[in-house]
Amino acid sequence: MFVVKIGGSILFDKEYQLKQKLLSNYAKTIRNIFSESKKKCAIVVGGGKLARKYIAVTRALGANEAYNDIMGIEAAKLNARLFIGALGDIAYPEPPNNLQEFHALFNVTDKIIICGGFQPGQSTNAVAASIAEIVTAEKLLNLTDVDGVYTADPDKDPNAKLMKELAISDLISLIAKQTTKAGQYPLFDKTAVQIVQRSKIVLQFINGSDPENLMKAITGKPIGTLITH
């Protein structure tokens, strides 16, 4: 059982247009890996630029952070529906609203359940971590818009180096330096990392701009950053 977090970061181009071709390639890859090989998986999709855009407006109009997070949750659910639409009959038709709903569904359907956000105060990475925990996943794959975890944010520090492996304690220290607000839980949030640590979840960060990378990670090829316990 694999849990695949697809970062909303990879869904939109610079002009805020949806990458339709990438979605179509993902649908083919996911069908290949999970439908034909009978491996089971659950997918969590992030909010990406859609969430940031909506949150920027509600925040500017004076909404509180819990409400802004709800905007992000709904945006992530809309992004989840892109994958539900693309996967057709192999996907469960509705994104669950919370972990209990997910768990109940998981026990009665063989279809791929595709989630967006669950609750304010946490990111879709925390959704993915709690799903991985409740189903005792063999791996949690975090597909994002960079090659893995760097020594510093590669968008801000040109000297940042990609790390092939990283101890969970070092990931925690890295994240501790970040501040979070609705729509901005870069890389991985504190709630998510704590769940990964307490249940020793096998977590790997990979670049999701190419669906082939998902295939590589599933088949155990060394790629991205592996978090060790």
Of residues 110 and 155, the one with the C-beta less far from ligand ATP: 155
If one asks whether residue 117 binds ligand ATP (CB under 6 A), the answer comes out as no
Asked if residue 124 binds ligand ATP (CB under 6 A), the reply is yes
Site string for ligand ATP, 49-88 (x = CB under 6 A): ----------------------------------------
Strand partners, 6: 45, 143
Nearer to ligand ATP, 187 or 193 (CB): 187
Nearest CA to 142 among 118, 124, 168?
Answer: 124
The three-state secondary structure class of 119 is coil
Residues 6 or more apart whose Cβ sits within 8 Å of residue 119: 69, 73, 98
Q: Is 7 in the site for ligand ATP (CB under 6 A)?
A: yes
**Could you say whether residue 204 binds ligand ATP (CB under 6 A)?**
no
Residue type, 163: M
What is the closest distance, in whole angstroms, from the C-beta atom of residue 52 to ligand ATP in the complex? 8
Sheet of strand 113-115: strand arrangement: 113-115, 41-45, 2-6, 139-144, 203-207, 225-228, 165-167
Sole binder of ligand ATP in the list 145, 180, 190, 209 (CB under 6 A): 145
| CA gap 218, 197 in Å, rounded | 21
Least distance (Å) from ligand ATP to the CB of residue 8?
A: 3
Instruction: Establish if 224 lies at the interface with ligand ATP (CB under 6 A).
Output: no
